[in-house]
Amino acid sequence: MIRVALAASAILLTTAALPAAAQQEARPVLLDGTVLDVSATGISTRVPDLAVIQAGVVTQAATAAEAMQQNNAQMAKVLAALRGAGVAERDIQTARISLSPQYRYAENKPPVITGYQASNQLSIRFRDVGKSGTILDALVREGANDISGPNLTLDKPEGALDEARVDAVKKARARAELYAQAAGLKVDRILAISESGALPPMPAPIMMRANAGFAQDKAMEVVAGERELTVSVSVRFLLK
């Protein structure tokens, strides 16, 4: 398959190197055979090695300043817990900060502000998925009260995507052989290959379990499972 792809590339480069006038005079190449277009999707699987979790602090107080002050104090403890657990600075990022009034509504009366709510949300990457549950427990103990995730993914998916590409071309070739055999023909060569989509790991069901709270010192469990990566290709074959 590599030999064919390289040969096709050489032809394209030769054409591109021709002067503009020569390219304008080029004539369509007539193919002696039957053209078959096949689409196929290749798949590779990996165990996720990166967990991305949203963790933050939500506080409420009578005034905006007080709500923010309380929030900053709790968030400082959360950040200290993350750093103490060995999470690198590059893996901690502020995702959202908000401050909004809280209202009390009554029939036929204008809403009345009863206080303010402050929120500070972090996006955290855990490079040791197995330890992420334990760290989440520590964050909750330090004041994190708004947690979502995790999204389990791959830090470097390029190798897995290349495996999916190889798988996609093999499937396309096998399908072309099937069609050729049914038609009483043989696959002569590949005329073109195009990639129509390479998808990173898609969200999969995640298990997060907290056993009877934190008092029993049983950490939340995050199970990595397995992820699929897919690449779709379209391949044009010449049958003879």
Instruction: State pLDDT tens for residues 129-156.
Output: 888 888 888 899 999 999 998 889 999 9
146-148-153-154 Cα dihedral, nearest 10 degrees: 0
Regarding whether 175 and 83 lie in a shared domain, the answer is: no
From 125, 153, 181, give the residue that closes a domain: 153
**Who's near 214: CB < 8 A, 6+ residues apart?**
137, 140, 141
Number of domains in the chain: 2
Could you report the per-residue pLDDT of 31-80, keeping only the tens digit for each?
788 999 999 999 999 999 999 999 999 999 999 999 999 999 999 999 99
In a domain, 110, yes or no: yes
Better-predicted residue by pLDDT, 199 or 175: 175
- Tell me the C-alpha distance between 208 and 45, whole Å: 22
Q: Using an 8 Å Cβ cutoff, are 104 and 177 in contact?
A: no
**Who's near 148: CB < 8 A, 6+ residues apart?**
53, 54
CATH code, domain carrying 133: 3.30.70.2970
In a domain, 21, yes or no: no
Regarding whether 131 and 61 lie in a shared domain, the answer is: yes
In a domain, 14, yes or no: no
Could you report the per-residue pLDDT of 82-93, keeping only the tens digit for each?
999 999 999 999
CATH code, domain carrying 210: 3.30.110.170
pLDDT at 217: 56
- Tell me the C-alpha distance between 69 and 215, whole Å: 28
> For the chain, how long is the longest CA-to-CA vector?
83
List the structure tokens of 32: 């002696």
Per-residue pLDDT at 5 exceeds 90 = no
Could you report the per-residue pLDDT of 200-230, keeping only the tens digit for each?
655 544 444 333 344 445 667 788 888 899 9
